[in-house]
Amino acid sequence: MATEAFTIRAETEIVHKLDDLAGSLDKSRNDLVNQAIKEYLETHAWQVEKITKGIAAANRGELVDHDDVMKEMEDLIERKSKANA
């Protein structure tokens, strides 16, 4: 996989924590930063996709009444409570 160098400025405390974690995991600072960025991008891309789909559904009028959602959640909580009793 091709790589490209870039520079960031981070708070000293963050750099020290990163270095401590990298040492504990026997990984490089670079490996941890790449993993963190990859996970951040995947998470936020997923969130943006879900939000965008939700907005599109709302714009099409595909909404669920608040009371219906609350009733469904109450039923779910009750079922879970009974199962754990």
3-state secondary structure of 19: helix
DSSP H helix total and E strand total for the chain: 3, 0
> CB-side exposure of 44: number of CA atoms within 13 Å?
6
For 22, residues 6+ apart whose C-beta sits below 8 A from its C-beta are: 28, 29, 31, 32
Instruction: Please tell me the distance from the alpha carbon of residue 34 to that of residue 74, in angstroms, as a whole number.
Output: 42
- Measured CA to CA, the distance from residue 30 to residue 34 in angstroms comes to 6
Q: Each residue of 44-80: pLDDT tens digit? A: 999 999 999 999 999 999 999 999 999 999 999 999 9
- The domain segmentation of the chain, as residue ranges, is 12-84
Please indicate, yes or no, whether the overall pTM of this predicted structure exceeds 0.75: no
